Structure 1
Amino acid sequence: MHPKNIYSSNKPDFDKLATKYAKLRHFCTLNKKGKFTVDFNSNECVGALTEALLKENFDLEVVFSSNNLIPRLSNRLDYLLTIDDVIEANLVDKNVSIAGVDIGTGAYVIYPLLGSKLLKWSFVGTETDQKSIEYGKIIINNNKLDHLISIVHNESSDTIFNCTEQLIPENKFVFSMCNPPFFTDDEVTAKFNRFYSETFVNKWTETSRDDPRSTTIATISELSTKGGEVEFVGNMIKESLDLSNKINLFTSLVGKKSSIALLLPKLKEINHKVYEIIQGKTMRWIIMWSFDEKFEFPDIQQGSTKRKIQSKKTNNLKRLKTT
């Protein structure tokens, strides 16, 4: 876990949270010591816990649906904080405003919410699902963050950045981020059972490190995309060539280690680096690239270990000055 992650040194006190927040308390159980405990196998309980944490630690009000993927906050924070470290290593002028493009922001716009509250960044989020856009806008307005966060409709599932090109701000350091669906349709069939309609629940039959250790309920669009994450991120890399003068730093989360080996050849001529996120038994990767050959990707401390997989750097790296 990133050392700046609030949950790295401040583990949630479930008993205190349940005592304070009635909705969470409703889904918790009492142990033999009379303390409230969280049932991580209950999507309703995990959702209520995440709502309580967002309010308690970030003063954010979000209501989660039991039929959608509930974001794990510590994982999301590690992604944002790793981006922040990389930006910090490259900015000479610390007063430069920072703007993010969140690809597939989802109904809960969780990255823009956390990034705007914690790091004071502005965001443009993209989303293909109209219902998610409508709900996301309600959340943004309820939290009075409409001056920092906007959502645009990507009407074409065949392209990734097309709807944001005209909205990318000038005179700012701009990065992109994405948490794409990890799986292909066949992988969803193998790993998940249909809960009802377009909602799926994990089978709990796998034992690899990549698999969740709690119940995961999500819609098909949250779980899968054509060709899985390899094809999606590969297309993102291809499209990024046309935005090299508008976006300083491109990034994406990757859920499977096997995907990294397939994606790295696409970046062999581009300045890039892969960072690991390890939280408990769950491992994720952040793939980053920039078309500025002077862009620096620093080693980043995660817990007690500096973690990196592979990078391509140029010699005599200098910090990027954004004007």
Structure 2
Amino acid sequence: MKASRMATKTKLHPRNQHSEGYDFARLVAQTPELEAFTTRNPRGETTIDFKDVSAVRMLNRALLKTHYNIEFWDIPSGYLCPPIPGRVDYIHYLADLLADSNNQDIPRGPHIKALDIGTGASLVYPLTGQSEYGWSFTGVDIDAGALKSARQICEFNNLKIALRRQDNPENTFSGVIKAKDAFHLTMCNPPFHASKEKASKGTQRKWSNLGKGHSEQRNFGGQNAELWCPGGEIRFIARMVEQSTEFAQQCLWFTSLVSKKDNLQPLHRILGKARVADYKVVEMAQGQKTSRFIAWTYIKKNQRSSFAKGAET
């Protein structure tokens, strides 16, 4: 089958390499195994069956190799297989956030330090962020299996990405940010369901939207800790804000994805009580879907440039 570009355009960040859709000819040329998973949609365009877990994993492997120079990538069965284009958007908007504190110039290079909370088995943010901007990443997770997978990816690709285990599930920054650490930013894709039951209902909605019907399987996978926690997204991010005060002078920007727009108002009140110096909501669009992340800092505006320079050392 001759592979071709999937023509559907998206509303991704202008610097996102996937804003014109998937170039299947290029992807198959780099990863020939992908061709076996390609098919044609009703418009005659090349695509894959996104209900097929193996197809999604192979597409990710091809994307990471073609666009981000990752020669080897795989994850254990059952772990979250993230959609690459949307994940990379978070990275690009974070670069814009840092540029706001750097005379609108995007800072690049290993002196820029990022902390990825819940880095996962896929290691998707450090892989793409390091490739796009050369930043130094530290990935944190509570799951030993996820960290084992992340280490294997680093070893096979000869990547310098620090990995740390969070031993206490009630903590986010506490226990992993060390006394001498200084980060330009932290990032997180928090579990957004409040219970296993709600996570299962969310799975069924996704399968229904994909025309699959009832299934216990997740098309993008996901362990329980990746999908839900007691209290859901609000409690998780509230705990992040609470613990961030302890490290207020060790990080320029704390950030987290927020899956539900309705959660912004209570988070605004929580951040107000924390007396942050600044707080932003950054919206991102992926196709018909709108997502967002919040960013907060305790560093005053006139001190951010000097903080960034100090974090370089």
TM-score by length of 2: 0.82
CA contact (8 A) 2:75 2:149 kept: no
Aligned pair partner of 1:217 in 210, 214, 221:
221
Say whether residues 1:70 and 2:81 are aligned partners: yes
Aligned pair partner of 1:106 in 94, 99, 120:
120
**Offset at residue 16 of structure 1 (A):** 4.2
Match of 2:253 in 1: 249
Partners of 2:84 and 2:264 lie apart in 1 by 23
Aligned pair partner of 2:286 in 270, 279, 282:
279
SS of the equivalent of 1:152 reads strand
SS of the equivalent of 2:306 reads coil
Partners of 2:180 and 2:68 lie apart in 1 by 27
Say whether residues 1:116 and 2:130 are aligned partners: yes
SS of the equivalent of 2:208 reads coil
Partners of 2:143 and 2:56 lie apart in 1 by 24
Q: Residues 233-263 of structure 1, C-alpha deviation per residue, up to 9 Å, x if partnerless?
A: 0100000001001111100011111211221
SS of the equivalent of 1:235 reads helix
Match of 2:91 in 1: 80
Query: In proportion to residue count, which structure has more strand?
Result: 1
Partners of 1:90 and 1:51 lie apart in 2 by 34
- Structure-2 change in CA distance of 1:90 and 1:42 (3 Å): same
- Structure-2 change in CA distance of 1:244 and 1:279 (3 Å): same
Partners of 2:234 and 2:119 lie apart in 1 by 19
Aligned-CA RMSD value: 2.7
- Structure-2 change in CA distance of 1:30 and 1:95 (3 Å): closer
Partners of 1:260 and 1:165 lie apart in 2 by 26
Match of 2:235 in 1: 231
**Offset at residue 176 of structure 1 (A):** 0.6
Aligned pair partner of 2:53 in 43, 59, 64:
43
Q: Residues 3-32 of structure 1, C-alpha deviation per residue, up to 9 Å, x if partnerless?
A: 111112x43222442355232112223579
- Structure-2 change in CA distance of 1:228 and 1:34 (3 Å): closer
**Offset at residue 49 of structure 1 (A):** 0.8
**Offset at residue 116 of structure 1 (A):** 1.2
1:1-323 to 2 correspondences below 5 Å? 1-8=12-19, 10-18=20-28, 20-29=30-39, 36-60=46-70, 61-91=72-102, 97-146=111-160, 149-166=161-178, 169-170=181-182, 174-185=184-195, 186-192=197-203, 202-204=206-208, 215-268=219-272, 269-270=275-276, 271-294=278-301, 320-322=305-307, 323=310
Partners of 2:172 and 2:113 lie apart in 1 by 18
Q: Percent identity?
A: 29
Tell me which amino acid in the other structure corresponds to 1:74.
P
- Structure-2 change in CA distance of 1:73 and 1:142 (3 Å): same
CA contact (8 A) 1:249 1:290 kept: yes
5+ residue gaps, structure 2, are 1-11, 211-217
Partners of 2:234 and 2:62 lie apart in 1 by 34
Moved over 6 A (4+): 31-35
5+ residue gaps, structure 1, are 194-200, 207-213, 295-316
Partners of 1:32 and 1:273 lie apart in 2 by 41
Q: Residues 283-313 of structure 1, C-alpha deviation per residue, up to 9 Å, x if partnerless?
A: 211100001231xxxxxxxxxxxxxxxxxxx
Q: Residues 7-60 of structure 1, C-alpha deviation per residue, up to 9 Å, x if partnerless?
A: 12x432224423552321122235799874311221211111111011011111
CA contact (8 A) 1:43 1:66 kept: no
Partners of 1:90 and 1:37 lie apart in 2 by 40
Partners of 1:71 and 1:43 lie apart in 2 by 11
**Offset at residue 109 of structure 1 (A):** 1.2
Partners of 2:42 and 2:266 lie apart in 1 by 49
Tell me which amino acid in the other structure corresponds to 2:290.
M
Tell me which amino acid in the other structure corresponds to 1:100.
A
Q: Residues 43-98 of structure 1, C-alpha deviation per residue, up to 9 Å, x if partnerless?
A: 21111111101101111121144522211111111111111111112136968821
Q: Residues 147-191 of structure 1, C-alpha deviation per residue, up to 9 Å, x if partnerless?
A: xx1111101001111232217635xx5211101111111421332
